[in-house]
Amino acid sequence: MTRFALIALIAATATAGPALAVGFTSSANEAVAARDIADRQHGFQISELSADERGGLNTTPNARDIADREDGFQISELSAEERGGFNTTPNARDIADREDGFQISELSADERGGLDTTPNARDIADREDGFQISELSADERGGLDTAPNARDIADREDGFQISELSADERGGLDTTPNARDIADREDGFQISELSADERGGLDTAPNARDIADREDGFQISELSADERGGLDTAPNARDIADREDGFQISELSADERGGLDTTPNARDIADREDGFQIS
């Protein structure tokens, strides 16, 4: 460790120490599995639990909280400068700021000499169009990373970003590790965590979450009720049926089953009154 890094680390520790004691609360522990990103009123996104909300910084490996800078951009609670240098552990989630105002992970693909395909990799690579994707992007890996700790952000065609599970899009936060809910984009289309095109084919395994595209531009599950000869009421059923009004519902909707299924592996889609869908 260089002299500068040591001095910065000591300073960061002295500053964050009191807050860390507060941060290790039951709420902070519950945040370990949180992957949802909440939307602020002015359209930016913050973590479910910010530093201010939890009373300080959380330095645990799985901390996903995002702090807001004064200029409106976001950085990780623990930046490289705040911690005295780069953190090369697999779980590092700190974001550094580039000179052009965009953000990259402390450890980008270029900085580390290549892509890291481990499930917990959260580094951000830069695309040619100036937007950012995770090192484990759909294009780079043939699909998004659906491991429990995956927090990659997909880019919509309108230039905005959505979390795999946003609060507004699903009518509430879902912090369960195995959540596979489908997010709705503003243009009315839907994206699965793993589409058939992204992975190069259909995956019929029980945990498959890929969505196939129909000729009319809408999306259906890889295995529809018609394709499989009927409804599948097992907990892991993810097929989507098409309603007459053009929207989609799970084979086992809330109305069909008498209520919502809140088990961790539930993938059924219910329809909200405003026309959006939630798991």
Map out the domains of the chain as residue ranges: 1-165, 180-279
pLDDT digits (tens, 9 = 90+) for 43-62: 223 333 444 444 443 333 22
Q: Which residues of 42-58 are buried (b: 16+ CB within 10 A; e: fewer)?
A: eeebbbbbbbeebbbbb
pTM of the model: 0.13
Q: What pLDDT is attached to residue 236? A: 29
Residues of the chain with pLDDT under 70: 1-279
Is residue 155 within 8 Å of residue 138, measured between CB atoms? Answer: no
Q: What pLDDT is attached to residue 268? A: 37
pLDDT digits (tens, 9 = 90+) for 246-266: 333 443 334 433 443 332 223
Is residue 269 within 8 Å of residue 250, measured between CB atoms? Answer: yes
Give the rounded distance of the alpha carbon of 214 from its chain centre: 25
Helix (H) or strand (E) holding 97: strand 95-97
Handedness of CA 192, 194, 196, 197 (dihedral sign): positive
Helix (H) or strand (E) holding 277: strand 277-278
Nearest to 73 by CA among 106, 104, 110, 33: 104
Q: What pLDDT is attached to residue 56? A: 42
Q: What pLDDT is attached to residue 95? A: 41
Q: What pLDDT is attached to residue 100? A: 33
Q: What pLDDT is attached to residue 215? A: 38
Q: What pLDDT is attached to residue 51? A: 42
